[in-house]
Structure 1
Amino acid sequence: MTSPHDPGAVPGPAAWASPEAPLRVEAGSVTHPGMVRAENEDRCLAAPDLGVFAVADGMGGHADGALASATVVEALASIGAAVSAADLMARLEDRILRANATLWASGQARGGIVGSTVAVLLIYGRDFACVWSGDSRIYRIRGGAIEQLTRDHTEGRDLFERGLLSASEMAAWPRRHVITRAVGVRERPEVDLEQGTLEPGDVFVICSDGLTGPLSDRDILLSAGTSAPQWACDALLALALDRGAPDNVSAVIVRFGAPSPGRRSAASAPGETVAMLGARGDGRPS
């Protein structure tokens, strides 16, 4: 697995390990086929007990998109409880490599492409890491402002960053959404990595392009900034459906609060789970 920051490397404890007690975690998730697609090729994962949250979007127009995203999420769900930050990152790398090998072999056997985007948020203690491939995104809401922590792996974005397209030209360019990276499309997966430290009140939104297509960053901020995660997931889905939702829609929202008074979680634990609401396919509150 390669990353432009340090190809093939897994950050060690010195780079990504906090001795502070973990923050309280509340998470919600939702996934829906949208208003146009007959099948949902998105999958999502919210596992606060493991410190793993993810969205995968099977490549539309290619064979077995649903199989591809399911393969990625099932691999991530098998990570298990890590004993250190480095262990969690190593487990993630192993699962991405396994999923990529499975999808690459399937594509080779079929003579086509079987791939999926993935955006993963890892939590260990007070630290977080974002790992992604493709155009599924991770946002952080902090202090009333929203920031996209991931960078879309698309032809349009690549050309914009190289100065070959302006922002307006990128918005109108017909191949702007063609992705340049995904799990399973090459023999070795390519991912990007961003890391940071959590603050109480942080909210992370992990989503497929089926959500960010019809909705703006401000839409996401207004729904997710101060609301309970599952309510926010359902509200964002309802808004996307109201605007036509031409693609599958998926979101995982994670909110972090201060540790409970008088309780101290082990520094080696991914987080203290106070709520974990499962994905719904109909957008209605649990």
Structure 2
Amino acid sequence: MSNSGWTSIAETNIGTVRKVNEDDFLDLPEAQLWCVADGMGGHAKGDVASQLITKTLSDLASNAPEELSVDSICDCIKQTNYTLIELSNQHNSIVGSTVVALFFTAEHAHLIWAGDSRIYRLRSNTLERVTRDHSQVEDMIDAGLISPEEAETHPKANVITRAVGAAVELDLDVKTLPLEDGDQFLLCSDGLNKVMNDLELEHALKTMDTKTISNRLIEIALNRKARDNVTVIVVRNEKQIEEALHETLPLDDTLPLHYSNKS
């Protein structure tokens, strides 16, 4: 398929509790590169970590666009990891961040991540999470120790097992998927998926227009008292979805009613 016509919209918000927004994002449709980084709350300078990740990737795309590749993106993130390790040593505390990046080549989408920031794909009106969280509760789910529902309220729900800046050797997951006509992608920090479930995110991608979707998703998260920073990037091909996308309901009615707000 052709990669022409891809567009995106991105937004971040501090949320309803935090004093600092430690999330950051990179929105470069011209380079077909997108990234969300969620600085590790409770540690020193989480905002510095997330901003350094997005800045170094932005510099890579700007300075050597012809050399942009999965390997160069991974190398860039790993170099940033070493820089953050040095900062951690100076502050005697981890200076770290999650990262999730999406990069398109001719007929493929490439996913690169560490931590629990996510990428979802909407294909044929069905949403699928295409990244796996690097977290203690995800490991426990895989081991059959707890259910996904139990993971949401588990005491270890916020403990991640990988992050940029957390260890000298950074293990990045990389996944390559074929692109198909009509594909849409959602990148987000966990501030969004902790207050919206998969069916609600699917409904949003199927019904909300590109100009307003990121703002509206964040508005919903804030209305549900999101306790974490919230960052959203939506990537879609306007030429392919123009006729399929219908937005006829006001904001309060655009989501199904099977979600119970967290206290």
The interval holding the TM-score normalised by the smaller chain is 0.7 to 0.9
Q: 1:230 to 1:136 in 2, by over 3 A?
A: farther
Q: Which residue of 1 aligns with 2:80?
A: 99
Mapped pair 1:218 → 2:177: no
TM-score by length of 2: 0.86
In the alignment, which of 184, 188, 192 is matched to residue 207 of structure 1? 188
CA contact 1:29–1:230 (8 Å) conserved in 2: no
Mapped pair 1:55 → 2:14: no
Mapped pair 1:144 → 2:125: yes
Mapped pair 1:244 → 2:205: no
Q: Which residue of 2 aligns with 1:123?
A: 104
Secondary structure (helix, strand or coil) at the match of 1:225 reads: helix
Mapped pair 1:189 → 2:170: yes
Task: Give the alignment of 1:25-104 within 5 angstroms.
Answer: 25-80=6-61, 82-83=65-66, 87-104=68-85
CA contact 1:156–1:170 (8 Å) conserved in 2: yes
* Residue-by-residue CA offset, 1:127-160 (whole Å, 9 max, x unaligned): 1111110000000011111000000111011122
In the alignment, which of 224, 227, 231 is matched to residue 212 of structure 2? 231
CA contact 1:43–1:55 (8 Å) conserved in 2: yes
Secondary structure (helix, strand or coil) at the match of 1:77 reads: helix
Return the offset for 1:257. Answer: 4.9
Q: 1:118 to 1:239 in 2, by over 3 A?
A: same
User: What is the count of residue pairs matched by the alignment?
Assistant: 238
Q: Identity of counterpart residues, as a percentage?
A: 36
| Alpha-carbon RMSD | 1.7
CA contact 2:36–2:99 (8 Å) conserved in 1: yes
The one-letter code sitting in structure 2 at the alignment partner of 1:23 is: S
Partner Cα separation in structure 2 for residue 202 and residue 257 of structure 1: 10
Q: Which residue of 2 aligns with 1:162?
A: 143
Partner Cα separation in structure 2 for residue 156 and residue 21 of structure 1: 38
Secondary structure (helix, strand or coil) at the match of 2:41 reads: coil
Q: 1:168 to 1:49 in 2, by over 3 A?
A: closer
The one-letter code sitting in structure 2 at the alignment partner of 1:202 is: D
Return the offset for 1:226. Answer: 4.0
In the alignment, which of 116, 120, 124 is matched to residue 135 of structure 1? 116
Return the offset for 1:162. Answer: 1.9
Return the offset for 1:83. Answer: 3.6
Q: Which residue of 1 aligns with 2:255?
A: none
Q: 1:212 to 1:166 in 2, by over 3 A?
A: closer
Q: Which residue of 1 aligns with 2:258?
A: none
Partner Cα separation in structure 2 for residue 188 and residue 67 of structure 1: 20
Secondary structure (helix, strand or coil) at the match of 2:53 reads: helix
Q: 1:238 to 1:75 in 2, by over 3 A?
A: same
In the alignment, which of 133, 145, 155 is matched to residue 174 of structure 1? 155
Return the offset for 1:172. Answer: 3.6
Partner Cα separation in structure 1 for residue 28 and residue 85 of structure 2: 26
Return the offset for 1:256. Answer: 2.1
Secondary structure (helix, strand or coil) at the match of 1:254 reads: strand
The one-letter code sitting in structure 2 at the alignment partner of 1:194 is: K
Partner Cα separation in structure 2 for residue 225 and residue 126 of structure 1: 23
The one-letter code sitting in structure 1 at the alignment partner of 2:195 is: P
CA contact 1:23–1:257 (8 Å) conserved in 2: no
The higher-RCO structure (CA 8 Å, 6+ apart) is 1
Secondary structure (helix, strand or coil) at the match of 1:229 reads: coil
Partner Cα separation in structure 1 for residue 69 and residue 33 of structure 2: 9
Secondary structure (helix, strand or coil) at the match of 1:78 reads: helix
TM-score by length of 1: 0.79
